[in-house]
Homo-oligomer: A and B are copies of this chain.
Amino acid sequence: MISAVVMSEPHAPLELRSFARPELEPGAILLRTLGSEVCGTDGHLWKGQLAGVPYPIIPGHVSVGRISALGPGEAPRDVDGVPLRVGQTVTFLDVYGTCGRCWYCTVGHATTRCPERKVYGVTLSASDGLLGGWAEYIHLKPGVHVIPLPDELDWRAFLSGGCGMPTALHAVTLGEIAFGDTVVVQGAGPVGLCAAVLAQLRGAGRVIVVGGPEARLAAATRFGADTVIDIGSTTPEERIAAVREATAGRGADVTIEATGVPSAVPEGMRLTRDAGRYVIVGQYTDAGETTFNPHLDLNQKHLDIRGCWGSDVGHVYRAVQVMARYGRIFPWTDLITREYGLAEAQAALEDVAAQRVVKALIVPRQT
């Protein structure tokens, strides 16, 4: 029997349940889980803040495993087109079922808005099987996009970015950072920290992280932020003044929002220079409205604002390549504060919610 953590409904204590080993269809894959991240979204799931979640679920959307078995028939292929083999260490895109046929997939080229997409660990139900990462094994349905980890990328290193890395990679790509730009990142959680790293890998001239608490700001500094600004001890006006002072009075060339707090958005507009670019990636749940001045904050500023939703195969594929290549410069695993067994999942959830840890992993078979 296979053990998995089950979130039966919002606010209920997580449980360990046993599942039968699944029968694999042609094209399916069984992964023995090496690790799965604990993400802010898991906290939102537990608090019931996301719509359309088919509880009970097995949480855990970004995971790494070793291929334990393949379904009958021709071996499924990885994103590069190479047939997969038992024993390989792989990750996979948590988004499953993007249809490739709807208007958003074919005409709009906005696949993260495809209405058919489901997400492992979020919108796939435990009633349908081992479709989440906080489990000894994960059942990859036919068509799941699989990406092997290169030898030079340890699985823990990859998970230390978690879903924050492809999310930040999507946001930073939309930010279109130019060489030498000053980049402000609002928020020092996993998405913000990954954005601060990736801004350096776009040749930013200066990276300023605005956030807290202190442990996260220390991580930002360790990962190369030139300046950190503690939101706990500054006013919005002080933060705006500090960024302007660092930029000959102009403001940031590019700002990346990764906070989840509505009031961060008008502040971010003001942190950004005229004709700059502002990417909103942190407003993942509905936390209410905010106010702004369309003349001053947007029109006269000639400001470009981009909402950024979700990530897709390319973002995860590219995140893997980047993390494998730049581990010499960025000590990824330093982001991991603690690893938890399956039985400790409730503690992991609470530690993440309380911001006691930077990145927490669920590791089913700790060694």
Name A's B-contacting residues (CB within 8 A): 77, 79-82, 98, 100-110, 112-113, 143, 145, 169, 172-173, 178-180, 198, 200-206, 226, 248, 250, 262, 265, 273-275, 280-296, 298-310, 312-314, 317-322, 324-326, 329
Do residues A173 and B180 form an inter-chain contact, with CB atoms below 8 A?
Answer: no
State how many copies of this chain the complex holds.
4
Cα–Cα distance between A112 and B302 once the two chains are bound (Å): 9
Do residues B314 and A275 form an inter-chain contact, with CB atoms below 8 A?
Answer: no
Given known pairs A113-B274, A274-B110, A294-B283, the reply for A305 and B305 (CB within 8 Å) is yes
A142 to chain B, nearest CB (A): 10
Do residues B320 and A180 form an inter-chain contact, with CB atoms below 8 A?
Answer: yes
Cα–Cα distance between A102 and B81 once the two chains are bound (Å): 6
A176 to chain B, nearest CB (A): 9
Do residues B292 and A289 form an inter-chain contact, with CB atoms below 8 A?
Answer: yes
Cα–Cα distance between A332 and B316 once the two chains are bound (Å): 33
Contacts of A308 in B (CB 8 A): 299, 302
Contacts of A291 in B (CB 8 A): 289-291
Do residues A307 and B296 form an inter-chain contact, with CB atoms below 8 A?
Answer: no
Do residues A101 and B302 form an inter-chain contact, with CB atoms below 8 A?
Answer: no
Q: Which residue of B lies closest to A80 (CB)?
A: B248
Counting chain B CB atoms within 10 Å of each CB, the highest count among A106, A290, A319, A329 belongs to A106
Given known pairs A100-B100, A283-B298, the reply for A179 and B201 (CB within 8 Å) is yes
Do residues B79 and A319 form an inter-chain contact, with CB atoms below 8 A?
Answer: no
Cα–Cα distance between A320 and B205 once the two chains are bound (Å): 9
Do residues B290 and A292 form an inter-chain contact, with CB atoms below 8 A?
Answer: yes
A252 to chain B, nearest CB (A): 12
Cα–Cα distance between A273 and B79 once the two chains are bound (Å): 16
Given known pairs A300-B307, A307-B299, the reply for A205 and B113 (CB within 8 Å) is no
A367 to chain B, nearest CB (A): 30
Counting chain B CB atoms within 10 Å of each CB, the highest count among A77, A291, A301, A307 belongs to A307
Given known pairs A107-B79, A295-B287, the reply for A307 and B302 (CB within 8 Å) is yes
A312 to chain B, nearest CB (A): 7
Q: Which residue of B lies closest to A102 (CB)?
A: B81
